[in-house]
Amino acid sequence: MSAPNLLQVKDVSQIYKTGPKAFTAVRGINLTIQEGDFVALVGPSGCGKSTLLRIITGLQPASEGSVLYRGKAIDGVNPHATIVFQTFALFPWLTVQQNVEIALKARGVGPTERRERSIALLDRVGLDGFETAYPRELSGGMRQKVGFARAMAVEPELLCLDEPFSALDVLSAEALRTELMALWQSGDLPIKAVLMVTHNIEEAVLLAGRVVVMEKEPGRIEAELRNPLGYPRLPKAPEFVMMVDRVYGTLAGTTQPEHVEMGTAPGQPGRTRGLPEININGLGRMLESIRDNPNQRADIYDVARELSIDSEEAIALTEAAELLGFAVISQGDIALTPTGATFIESSPADRKPLFAARIERIPIFKWLLDRLDATPAGEQWEDIVEELAKDFPAEEAEHQLDIIVTWGRYGEIIQYDDSEGVISRAVAA
């Protein structure tokens, strides 16, 4: 007998329209959460996982499809769901206790009961003695505890966590994860299911019974992986590492033929491939770390651990390596290509022309370089953003140009004059 369905997401799409242009944030999402589920939503930045969370909690309506809660379509904020926010979202001018009480007050609980219940909840998360403190006096971990206490105050059935540990230091995050798990497993909370958005794959595997992997452009669900590991889970255990590796593998995908991988130029039919935001020096470090493995082939997860970077950064780096033709990815493994090997064998100065030669092949770069060649005086930043905005949402267009300029400056093929706002071809030294 399967547990009753708590939440069903049916064919949900979110499309933002600005004038004649439309951008798909997420498309064709189907997801079911049953009582007793702890689901983690992972994916690269820009895959729409936060958007999906907001649709599920009823903070924003989906442009297509429906969200059913206990079989009934929601048409606004779901009163049985609550959110723990990444930045805590505490009212800075209210004390810890008032922050919890305000949630109770909104539900019409009287002053005396409000006080008792909020004090009991704060005890429960280990904040006794801090009732009259203001959030600014607390550490990040303690602030998030207030966030949890406030969320539990409204006795939700569906607890949604929006990257709840990513703004915390490593130790606080670890402690808080353990406490969350203890609370969840104790079973004496009214919470029926947990949905957690995270970009940290280890965290997802540590906590969740099911990992939903999302992909971007457009945001969609790539796979749902059941996590069979029993509790307590030990991050060092081989089964654990294998599970993390599986998620990495799903997330990193498989390198496609070049024309698919690189997409089309802006303004052309077809998908324009956005560039991932990376630290270019980190790219070299990652490639070096792959080289030091047998067959110049490594587990992405191993590489991430060796460089002590989180999975979001690791995925962005692998994506960049793929796009530049420095590495290929299949089944969670990343392997150096001959080009990639040449790149890291070169001196820092020699890497630049190599890097430049690679990025010149990417359609979005080619497009920009052609434009710049046609106008030697250079182009205005705003004008390029406007062009890019035909293929990306406004903010992302700006972001993409930022990345393009950073890469182009590194490759010494583009220069940008900030005071004039002009992008132009770099003059050969």
Partner 1 sequence: MLRLNRIFAPAHPVLRRISGADAVIVLGIAATLWALAKLAAQAPTVIRGPDLSLEPSALPVYAGLSIARMVGAYILSLIFTFVYGYYAASNKRRERVMMPILDILQSIPILAYLPVVVMSLTAILPLGFAKEFSAVLLIFTSQAWNMTFSWYQSLTTIPAELREASRVFQLSPWMRFKSLLLPFGAIGLVWNSLMSWAGGWFALMVSESFSIGEKDYRLPGIGSYIQLAAQRQDTRAITYGVLVLLVVIVGLDQLVWRPLLAYADKFRLDMVSTEAPITSWVYDALMGSRLVRRFRRRIVRPAAERIDNQMKRLFPVRMEFPHPLRPSLVGRFVTGAVGTLIVVGVWEGIRFLGQVSLADWGHIFLGLMVTFIRVMLALAIALAWTIPVGVAIGTNARLARVLQPLSQMAASFPATALYPLFLVGLLHVRGGLELAAMLLMLAGTQWYLLFNVIAGAQAVPQDLKYTAELMGLKGRQKWTTFILPSLFPYIATGAITASGGAWNASILAEYTTFGDTKYSTAYGIGAMIARSQDKNLYPQLMAATFAMVAAVIVVNRLVWKRLYQQAEETYRLD
Question: Would you count residue 22 as binding partner 1 (CB under 8 A)?
Answer: no
Q: Is residue 182 part of the contact set for partner 1 (CB under 8 A)?
A: no
User: What 3-state DSSP class applies to 71?
Assistant: coil
The window from 52-60, 245-253, 353-361, 387-395 that contacts partner 1 (CB under 8 A) reads: 52-60
Part of the chain binding partner 1 (CB under 8 A), chosen from 39-47, 107-115, 120-128, 295-303: 107-115
Nearer to partner 1, 149 or 303 (CB): 149
Q: Which amino acid is at 408?
A: G
Nearer to partner 1, 72 or 136 (CB): 136
Residue 231 interacts with partner 1 (CB under 8 A)?
Answer: no
Among residues 423, 390, 387, 389, the alpha carbon closest in space to that of 404 is found at: 423
- Part of the chain binding partner 1 (CB under 8 A), chosen from 70-78, 185-193, 196-204, 327-335: 70-78
The secondary structure of 171-234, three-state, reads HHHHHHHHHHHHHHHHCCCCCCEEEEECCCHHHHHHHCCEEEEEECCCEEEEEEEECCCCCCCC
Q: Which of 14, 24, 51, 86 binds partner 1 (CB under 8 A)?
A: 86
Neighbours of 360 (CB within 10 A): 13
Interaction mask 140-159, partner 1, x per CB under 8 A: ----------x---x-----
Which residue lies nearer to partner 1 by CB, 79 or 126? 79
- Quick check: 344 and 315 in contact, CB under 8 A? no
Peptide bond preceding 232: is omega within 30 degrees of 0, i.e. cis?
Answer: yes
Choose between 57 and 255: whose C-beta lies nearer to partner 1: 57
Maximum CA extent, the chain = 75
**Which range in 74-82, 115-123, 271-279, 387-395 contacts partner 1 by CB under 8 A?**
74-82
Contacts of 26 (CB under 8 A, 6+ apart): 12, 13, 14, 47, 48, 51, 52, 55, 218, 219, 220
Which of 81, 109, 197, 314 is in the footprint of partner 1 by CB under 8 A? 81
| Helix (H/G/I), strand (E/B), else coil: 374 | helix
Q: Which of residues 389-428 bind partner 1 (CB under 8 A)?
A: 418-419
Counting contacts by CB under 8 A, is residue 190 touching partner 1? Answer: no
Cα Rg, the chain, nearest whole Å:
24
Q: Which residues bind partner 1 (CB under 8 A)?
A: 54, 57-61, 75-77, 79, 81-83, 85-89, 91-94, 102-103, 105-108, 111, 135-137, 150, 154, 418-419
